[in-house]
Amino acid sequence: MESLALHSLSTSTSFSLSSRTSFLHHRSRSISNPQLSLPSLRSPISHISYKGFSFLTPLSKPHIPHKPIQASSSSSKAPLPPPATQGVKLIPFIISVCIGLVLSPLPVGAWAFLGLTVSVVTNTLTFSAAFSAFTNEVIWLIVISFFFARGFVKTGLGDRIATYFVKWLGKSTLGLSYGLTFSEALIAPAMPSTTARAGGVFLPIIKSLSLSAGSQPEHPTAKKLGAYLVQTQFQAAGNSSALFLTAAAQNLLCLKLAEELGVIVSNPWVAWFKAASLPALVSLLATPLILYKLYPPEIKDTPEAPAIAAKKLESMGPVTRNEWIMVGTMLLAVSLWIFGDSLGIASAVAAMIGLSILLLLGVLDWNDCLNERSAWDTLAWFAILVGMASQLTNLGIVTWMSDCVANSLRSLSLSWPASLLVLQAAYFFIHYLFASQTGHVGALYSAFLAMHRAAGVPGVLAALLLGYNTNLFGALTHYSSGQAAVYYGAGYVELADIFKMGLVMAFVNAIIWGVVGCFWWKFLGLY
């Protein structure tokens, strides 16, 4: 989501990526054994933080011969990480207050709470109005979806699915990339955070495969395999998140804000998927191949990857009872999300049913839910953003802003398709100034949707396209999303390449979504 923190399932081991050299040194030693196994998410898990972002990485099981990653100790020669900055980041704070850009002077939840406090203290909002959105169904759907994501990680199901795709398609580097891309698209609707999928499932697998091929991070060998796999997975992840409404928390935030402006998307899960399906699938198919040509790996064949995956699956054993329960529960939840409108079952209620099943059958326990700090953090900032955005609409501020922009567009005699193009491009590239997808949505989504409507763009089409772009611009830079920090922090891709490929793939996605989507959305009757 995506600058939220993704907290680990176990807090027994923790160390900071600010001493990333030490981390990579230990990691490379532990995976140098030629009998490499892919990491298992059912093994003990460590908690890694990087500039405010956190993700999971598994430690080796005790019976595997290579050494597990160890936390730093007093006897270690590795340099101690610099002390964390206390309080607000002063310059981002000043800029955010003065011109309204969300540059993460504090974590999203803390920043949102400060804004809410100011609105109550200044009597802009009453206390009850300020906290009214905490009972919103969409917000609780997102919270419960985080619990589903924990179930995927806890049971090891996400790891197993990705490993099967490596086994089936991993004989070549291109096939390996497609396997990882397709597996992410498959599990995306059940894991509502690209950061969670990146740090909890895919980056550990990519690093293991890369190191086994002699591709080291922060080393000339990085481009042998690791750089390509990281870059491809990073760029494809935005399309996976755009494909499903429940694949990223900001998707649900977008539709909720659209509802506040009177744009109602009926049967939202199905409507979102139908409109995104064709352009997203074309982009998912094109991304590995395009990057294979523009950012080629030095190693073209990976015949050892299927064997590594097969050994990994053998060490995992047969599918467990809890994994089967997880599969069944998610199939039930997705089915209710699809057909819930005709059955009279709301999406949040469907999620509640799924979570109840996981709790009753012991796949998750209540401590798992309590320890899912990302879910409770999301509840806080999401409810605050929704509540404050609705008040901006009620006070007429959004309407005033949109009318000003619409009048300017009319003075240029632009048709609504031309206005759509201009506004979507502006919304997309403004993200260079944001360090958070959710912050971007909270600050600009309502205003841009209102501008679209004032310019004559069909409301549902505008609402969906802004939502899709919110996922696609997550791969622009190394700070544009949570998964960006995770993948860049792995040390395989240079900063210049992140910016260059981010801009190139932004235009590739714009062409694919613009051309394919134009015909597809016309066929669906969105305009």
Quick one: CA dihedral 164, 179, 49, 374, positive or negative? negative
- Which residues of the chain register pLDDT less than 50? 1-78
Closest CA to 437 of 473, 466, 464, 461: 473
Cα–Cα distance list, 86 to 83, 106, 369 (Å): 9, 10, 28
In this structure, are residues 360 and 110 in contact, taking their beta carbons and an 8 Å threshold? no
pLDDT score recorded for residue 397? 73
In this structure, are residues 17 and 48 in contact, taking their beta carbons and an 8 Å threshold? yes
C-alpha–C-alpha distance, residues 7 and 252, integer Å: 21
C-alpha–C-alpha distance, residues 392 and 11, integer Å: 40
The DSSP bridge pattern shows strands 45-50 and 53-58 to be antiparallel
Structure tokens at 170: 């991993």
In this structure, are residues 465 and 423 in contact, taking their beta carbons and an 8 Å threshold? no
pLDDT score recorded for residue 132? 79
Structure tokens at 441: 């949505």
Structure tokens at 417: 């398709």
In this structure, are residues 278 and 516 in contact, taking their beta carbons and an 8 Å threshold? yes
Structure tokens at 378: 């999301």
Structure tokens at 487: 């993948």
3-state secondary structure of 42: coil
State the CB neighbour count (10 A cutoff) for residue 245.
24
The residue whose two tokens read 């590594």 is 308
pLDDT score recorded for residue 279? 98
3-state secondary structure of 48: strand
C-alpha–C-alpha distance, residues 251 and 2, integer Å: 11
Burial category of 191 from C-beta neighbours within 10 Å (exposed 0-12, middle 13-18, buried 19 and up) = buried
Our CA angle for 381, 383, 386, nearest 5°, is 105
What are the residues whose beta carbons fall under 8 Å from the beta carbon of 2, sequence distance 6 or more?
Answer: 193, 194, 195, 241, 248, 249, 250, 436, 437, 438, 474, 481, 482, 483
C-alpha–C-alpha distance, residues 239 and 118, integer Å: 37
Give the domain ranges of the chain. 137-524
DSSP assignment letter at 34: S
C-alpha–C-alpha distance, residues 424 and 413, integer Å: 18
pLDDT score recorded for residue 96? 62
C-alpha–C-alpha distance, residues 387 and 401, integer Å: 19
183-228 confidence digits (pLDDT tens): 999 999 878 778 888 888 899 999 988 998 899 999 999 999 999 9
pLDDT score recorded for residue 99? 59
Structure tokens at 8: 């680990």
In this structure, are residues 385 and 253 in contact, taking their beta carbons and an 8 Å threshold? yes
Give the end-to-end CA distance of the chain in Å, rounded to a whole number: 29
pLDDT score recorded for residue 195? 82
In this structure, are residues 144 and 351 in contact, taking their beta carbons and an 8 Å threshold? yes
pLDDT score recorded for residue 88? 66
State the CB neighbour count (10 A cutoff) for residue 285.
16
Q: Which helix (H) or strand (E) holds 50?
A: strand 45-50
